[in-house]
Structure 1
Amino acid sequence: MDSFEAHITNDQPPYNPGSLLNAFSNSLTSPLLNKPFLVKGIYKKGKGVNYNGVYYDVLKDEFTDNSITLVVPEKLRYELKEGQTIEAQAFLSKRLSTTTGRIDLILTVSDLLSRKEKEINEEEVKAQELLQQKAKIGYKDIDGVIRSRLYQQKSINVTIIIGTTAIIDNDIKHQLKDAVVVYDIKYVKVNLTRVPEIIHAMRENDTSDILVIARGGGENIQIFDNLELSQQALGLKSIFVTAIGHAADEPLLQKLADKHFITPTALGQYFYDLYNRTLDEFNNSKAKLIADLTKQIELNFQTQVQNLSTRLETTEKTMQEGEKENQAKVLNLTEGLAKSKSANQILTVLVLLLLLVIILLVIFKYQK
């Protein structure tokens, strides 16, 4: 520390980020800077935004994943197609980004010399056939499967194939947070540069609900264009997911995946977010179910009370009508009895009169 401090003089002003960027930018020199030269590579379209008459696209190396920003004038860009191998006259420049502290190299096209359409070889034909097969088979619904398992309160079996020296499992676990309890995750380490090892791991773990190939980035992205590996992925029973850490190119294996992510971190975040969304939906649907049941019970109770009131009113009305009918019968019976009593009294008088007549006749006869 003393020796370091001894080299700092009191009259030396402190550097700020801008001065540091300028210092390093000025120190980066090359005979190619700001001079025209020939370039060749594969043309890739950028975002398609016109910035004052130019577009920021990409020139990719024909044999590696290396690429550089390509500035194309508007009048030349209309002549270019995605995937063409181009030769152009260009010049190299540096661009400082004061907000991120980056110094980028940029190729600016001044003249387009040749364009060669991308040749379609036998492997590309086979790759297109695999993509057509996948489109016909369909993409499995990973969201639906996870939601279904969570609703059933069952764990989701996930196997993640990673590199032998990878530490991305920690990144995934970190993103899962409290959702880790619902995912039964197994990490299988293989050499991701060897196709036979990857295929063997895929076959051995095809009983999982979800099978993932994940890596943290780097070179050798071409291995995931391997036809044998892609064919194996196409025949998987498990839901197949990739998180192979590459945004610039989309390898065949990623296109065949039921779902893909750029990084393993994004995969873990997806598992966490889906768990929380499903939990919220479940709680909301549970509350709605309780509210619906309560409302239905109230309606049923009100209906039963109304039916009971109607029955009581009908019974009361029937009893009143019965009572009136009984009163009428009693009245009729009373009147009948009164009439019968009066008739009996008359009959008794007649009988007595008849007996008196008979007695009188007998007395009169004996007197003679």
Structure 2
Amino acid sequence: MESGGVQGADTGKSTLPPTANQTTAENPWPLRMLSQKLKMHIDRVPPTWVEGQVIELNRRNSTTYLTLRDTDAEASFSLVVWGSVMARLEMPLEPGSRVVAQIKPDLYIKTGRLTMQTRDIRPVGLGDLLVRLERLRRALAAEGLFDASRKQRLPLLPHRIGLITGRDSDAMKDVIRNASLRWPAVEFEVREVAVQGVNAVAQVMRALAELDARQDVDVIVIARGGGSLEDLLPFSNEDLVRAVAAAATPIVSAIGHEADRPLLDDVADLRASTPTDAAKRIVPDVSEELHRIGQARAMLARRVEQLVHRETDRLATLRSRPVMANPAGMVDVRTDDIHRLTSRAHQAVSAAVHRDTDRIAHLKAQVRALSPQNTLDRGYAVAQLPDGHVLRDAADAPAGTRLRLRLAVGEVAAETLP
């Protein structure tokens, strides 16, 4: 490595690779070059405000060394705080304090040690936490995550309940005991997780994803038996709130903290005041349901009896009517009508026949009076020429003309005289 550096100095031109990905075993960087480049890169990082919890604190003369850990994950950094920065604090820091700090990374080239130089540090009080939670609450509400229209209805009778709660906690015992007393057939799928501290958010979200993916889980209860505002902060974590909003299974929040409601209460499909209240609201009481069934059956029996009695009375009323008491009476009345109408029809027809018979006889008499035969019967005869024409003029029958005379009965031959 030294020979490479000397060679570059002698020629006045560097033979070292310009970037890290161009280095090789045959042409490496001197360690100082890596330190210098890292130093240049880190120096470009601007000061950054971060939040965490103080888990270690060591004071050495005027310098304080802190270990700051993320509040929701296993991540930590060592911070160096100069005495002038610590002097601005109204109250001294203690392990467990929640703080925000403005830090600037710095690399010491000689040792390659990375330190976080703290330019400002401020404790986060309850008031600050509440303000930030309220700001996040308003932002999520503006997105519609808390709208009643997107909340799912709980099943009437869940067969299997997913329960996310602390390990061997009273909240778990309360939910299981009270739900089983109300509905003995109910089943539970329990996930015991950390419900406070840095691991709480990750474990609750992992358990939620597992239970939400199961088809046999009808509802999921996230339960904890209350606690301080700091203890309940994981249940206001934005990632957890969004995961609950995206779940396909109905979610019940049973955190049990009335004074400062975590955001989980707002996004859950149902908020229960305590784990015991959650058990009462997710399953019905078997004794109450049996009582209601008994009431329904009694009411149904009464309604059926009322219907039968009402219809029996109607049948009796119908049977008491004359038409039902003597059904043949209606037929007899119609029979008399038929006889009367039949007699009238016979009389009308007979009258018409007699009247038309007389009319026909009169017409026959008229026809016979006008008949040529009637004329012949009175002594007249009809003279016909040999060609059959009737003789109407004597001039048409000169002497010697043979004639045929039609009489009332028969015919005679004749001849005209000169």
Range into which the TM-score falls when normalised by the shorter chain:
0.3 to 0.5
TM-score by length of 2: 0.43
Asked which structure has the greater RCO (Cα within 8 Å, sep 6+), the reply is 1
| Higher share in helix | 1
TM-score by length of 1: 0.48
Structure number with larger C-alpha Rg: 2
